[in-house]
Amino acid sequence: MKYLINIDHRIIYILVIISITLPLIAPLNLPVDASEEVTKIYQKIDSLMPGDTVLLLISYAAQNEVEMKSQSDSVISHLFSKEGIKIVSAALVESGNIYLNQYMSSYASEYQKEAGRDFVNLGFVYGGEVAVANLANDIHQAAPADSDGNLLADLEMMKNIKDGSDFDLVINFGATQLWSIVRYITDVYNVDLVSGIEAVFAIRFLPYYVSGQLDGYLNGLVGAAGYESLIGIRGPASKHMDPLSSSSMLIIVLIIVGNISYLVEKRQKFSDRSAR
Amino acid sequence: MAGTWIAAICTLGLMSFVIKDSPLYRLAEYTFLAVGTAYSFVLSLERLNPVIITPIKQGKYTIFIPVALGLLLYSRFFRGKQWLMGFPISVTIGVGLGLSLKGIVSSEIVKQLSDTYTSIGSLEGVLIFVGVICVILFFYFSRSNTGANPPVLAVARKIGRVFLMIAFGCMFSNVILSRMTLLLGRIKFLLGDWLNII
């Protein structure tokens, strides 16, 4: 038991790496289901009608690419497949701009959407919380031109989109500015909000979901896999569920073993003391 | 190809920290910081056009006020003029605080509180209500000097501790999930994009 308590941490790292690597080489194809909060996002996007406007925000950084890109890919692909939707997009963190440009260019060509008519990419909007407040109050002032340098005032699509009240749905990816979006856009203008959230932050936003301030959310890679199941694809997130499940099982086993070892050693110490 | 190799070497360098601190780890760490800083700097320069130059061309000269405040931040490089830096900092803090207070009161206090008692009709609502009250009482540290604390406070604290432990357990499980995802991404990159095994 003493050995188990004092086990070299490098052995645990190796076990974790093996538990992730094996299912990647030999996939188990475990079934994936969508939870209630994931289904609500799907329903919100699916119920959008031609002419509806959507504010799409990216506020995650490069280090969370694995979980957040899987989420964004499936949700934005579903969004672009809807006919007649007007999308205004912006990145709220620097590296989010890289992903935003990728999504806008690749899905625009895949679904034959035209910049300035079907969507406007504002690029990276500086200022964090202040930037979100500015976008909510006056988009034309917060970002006078799109990422290509075209003035918003000259774009036909932006003539009737001035502030937060002109949106039917806000879709956000990343927890960094989610608080600000709730405070300055969706609560103030009573707009629906759905969000993809990094698993590490998901629990913090549960009160917002329960209170109805957040209409649906994707919890890390698990949420992304659930969304993939709803749109009928077995994408990267679904494939990642095998290694994620096996590594989680390993952690559960290690926690149980660690606790049993601790309790056994505690009992031994107690019996040794009483024997003396 | 070269990009994949550099990324793979940096990944292995960062992972080597679990064995011990090494020059390869330092190299990968500084490379990451340098690339991130350079990218932010370039992005900042690109935003000068839509945020400053375009409004000036449109005749919106009020933009000079925030520009001047921003430039005052550089006064720290001039001996004897550092005090000028206080103006932009005070404006930034003032605006930030003002915005936060406005948003926090309505979204994070009023709405959260009202939902706590309006959803009390369901079992979930009752649990949330009891949890909120007991956790708040858990952090109530002003005890009576005479030692006579009402027993209900002690019971509420015990219940509050249970709710806190459940919440911490949920957070911990999500942290593990998130960290495993990060590792999974790197292993997939090494095996797939770099070594082409999967």
Here the tokens at position A93 are 């963190």
User: Nearest residue of A to residue B117 by CA position?
Assistant: A211
Looking at the partner chain, which of B49, B103, B177 has a beta carbon nearest the beta carbon of A183? Answer: B103
Residue B103 lies in a domain: no
Mean pLDDT along residues A207-227: 95
Who contacts B29 (Cβ-Cβ below 8 Å, separation ≥6)? B13, B14
| A94: closest CA of chain B, how far (Å) | 6
- Partners of B100 on chain A (C-beta within 8 Å) are 129, 183
CB contact under 8 A, A248 and B54: no
On the question of pLDDT at B63 being above 80, the answer is: yes
Residue B176 lies in a domain: yes
On the question of pLDDT at B145 being above 70, the answer is: no
Please count the other Cβ atoms lying within 10 Å of the Cβ belonging to residue B54. 18
Range with lowest mean pLDDT among A229-233, B15-19, B30-34, B182-186: B15-19
The answer to whether residues A196 and A173 touch, using CB atoms and an 8 Å cutoff, is: yes
- Partners of B181 on chain A (C-beta within 8 Å) are 66-67, 199, 220-221, 240, 244
- Partners of B95 on chain A (C-beta within 8 Å) are 130
A71 and A156 belong to one structural domain: yes
Helix (H) / strand (E) element for B158: namely: helix B151-188
Residue B36 lies in a domain: no
CATH number assigned to the domain comprising residue A188: 3.40.50
Structural domain including B168 reads 122-198
On the question of pLDDT at B4 being above 90, the answer is: yes
A10 and A57 belong to one structural domain: no
Mean pLDDT along residues A219-245: 94
pLDDT for the residue B147: 64
Q: How many domains does chain B fold into?
A: 1
On the question of pLDDT at A262 being above 90, the answer is: no
Please count the other Cβ atoms lying within 10 Å of the Cβ belonging to residue A69. 21
Residue B143 lies in a domain: yes
CB contact under 8 A, B181 and A66: yes
Looking at the partner chain, which of A24, A203, A244 has a beta carbon nearest the beta carbon of B171? Answer: A203
- Among A71, A94, A205, A214, pick the best mutation site for testing chain B contact (most B Cβ within 10 A): A94
| A244: closest CA of chain B, how far (Å) | 7
- Among B32, B106, B107, pick the best mutation site for testing chain A contact (most A Cβ within 10 A): B107
pLDDT digits (tens, 9 = 90+) for A76-120: 999 999 999 999 999 999 889 999 999 999 999 999 999 999 999
A175 and A194 belong to one structural domain: yes
CB contact under 8 A, B181 and A94: no
In whole angstroms, give the CA distance from residue B57 to residue B55: 5
pLDDT digits (tens, 9 = 90+) for B166-175: 999 999 999 9
A47 and A147 belong to one structural domain: yes
Q: How many domains does chain A fold into?
A: 2
A185 and A269 belong to one structural domain: no
On the question of pLDDT at A5 being above 80, the answer is: no
Determine what percent of chain A is predicted with pLDDT higher than 70.
100
On the question of pLDDT at A1 being above 80, the answer is: no
- Partners of A144 on chain B (C-beta within 8 Å) are 50-51, 54-55, 58
The answer to whether residues B154 and B138 touch, using CB atoms and an 8 Å cutoff, is: no
Helix (H) / strand (E) element for A139: namely: helix A139-142
A226 and A201 belong to one structural domain: yes
In whole angstroms, give the CA distance from residue A271 to residue B127: 41
CB contact under 8 A, A248 and B180: yes
Dihedral over alpha carbons B54, B52, A102, A117 (to 10 degrees): -30
The answer to whether residues A78 and A42 touch, using CB atoms and an 8 Å cutoff, is: yes
A80 and A195 belong to one structural domain: yes
| A50: closest CA of chain B, how far (Å) | 30
pLDDT digits (tens, 9 = 90+) for B153-192: 889 989 999 999 999 999 999 999 999 999 999 999 999 9
User: Nearest residue of B to residue A237 by CA position?
Assistant: B181
Residue B35 lies in a domain: no
A111 and A202 belong to one structural domain: yes
User: Nearest residue of A to residue B185 by CA position?
Assistant: A66
A22 and A149 belong to one structural domain: no
A224 and A107 belong to one structural domain: yes
User: Nearest residue of B to residue A243 by CA position?
Assistant: B184
The answer to whether residues A161 and B139 touch, using CB atoms and an 8 Å cutoff, is: no
CB contact under 8 A, A244 and B177: yes
Looking at the partner chain, which of B18, B108, B183 has a beta carbon nearest the beta carbon of A20? Answer: B183
User: Nearest residue of B to residue A246 by CA position?
Assistant: B180
pLDDT for the residue B100: 82
Q: How confident is the model at residue A38 (pLDDT cuts 50, 70, 90)?
A: very high
Looking at the partner chain, which of B54, B96, B112 has a beta carbon nearest the beta carbon of A129? Answer: B96
ipTM of predicted complex? 0.87
- Partners of A212 on chain B (C-beta within 8 Å) are 115
CB contact under 8 A, B180 and A247: yes
Please count the other Cβ atoms lying within 10 Å of the Cβ belonging to residue B163. 18
- Partners of B179 on chain A (C-beta within 8 Å) are 200
Structural domain including A220 reads 36-233
A68 and A123 belong to one structural domain: yes
A263 and A197 belong to one structural domain: no
On the question of pLDDT at B146 being above 70, the answer is: no
Q: How confident is the model at residue A141 (pLDDT cuts 50, 70, 90)?
A: confident
Determine the number of helices (DSSP H) and then strands (DSSP E) in chain B.
8, 0
Who contacts A153 (Cβ-Cβ below 8 Å, separation ≥6)? A140, A144
Query: Dmax of chain A from CA atoms?
Result: 89
- Which has the closest alpha carbon to A62: B24, B41, B182, B11? B182
